[in-house]
Structure 1
């Protein structure tokens, strides 16, 4: 099951309020912000994972995706901007 990160009513970022250990059943409750990378949508998270798996090569990512290097570079620049904005809001 995918972790919901956006409110279905108002589309604001959700916070984590409870976590539970599946082994001993210990529960931790509070109001915790999601880490920056979990605030990205699924496609953006996959982009980050693919970037790591391609050893940080945008050229390799573009090749694997069948896109031009400039198109992939633009996607990277957009993601860099978004992550920068999310970090600023912490």
Structure 2
């Protein structure tokens, strides 16, 4: 099951409010923002995973997906801009 990151009612980002230990059932309550990675779209998360698995080679990613290097480079640039926006709202 995927961790929900958006409110099903208004679509704003959710915050983590409780963490639970599966071993001893200890619960920690508070309001914790989601990590930047979880604020990304599933497509952006998959891009980062593939980037990592391809040792950071955009050339290999482009060949694997069947698109040009400039297309993959533009996707990376768009993601960098999006991540910067998420870090500095």
1: distance between equivalents of 2:58 and 2:12?
Answer: 31
Which residue number corresponds to residue 10 of structure 1?
A: 10
Structure 2 length-normalised TM? 0.95
Structure 1 length-normalised TM? 0.94
Long gaps (5+) in structure 2: none
Which residue number corresponds to residue 77 of structure 2?
A: 77
SS in 2 for 1:83: helix
Q: 1:23-59: CA deviations, max 9, x gaps?
A: 1111111110001111111111111111111111111
1: distance between equivalents of 2:42 and 2:27?
Answer: 27
Pair 1:24 & 2:41 matched: no
2: distance between equivalents of 1:12 and 1:60?
Answer: 35
Which residue number corresponds to residue 60 of structure 2?
A: 60
1: distance between equivalents of 2:19 and 2:42?
Answer: 21
RMSD: 0.8
Long gaps (5+) in structure 1: none
Runs of 4 or more off by more than 4 Å in structure 1? Answer: none
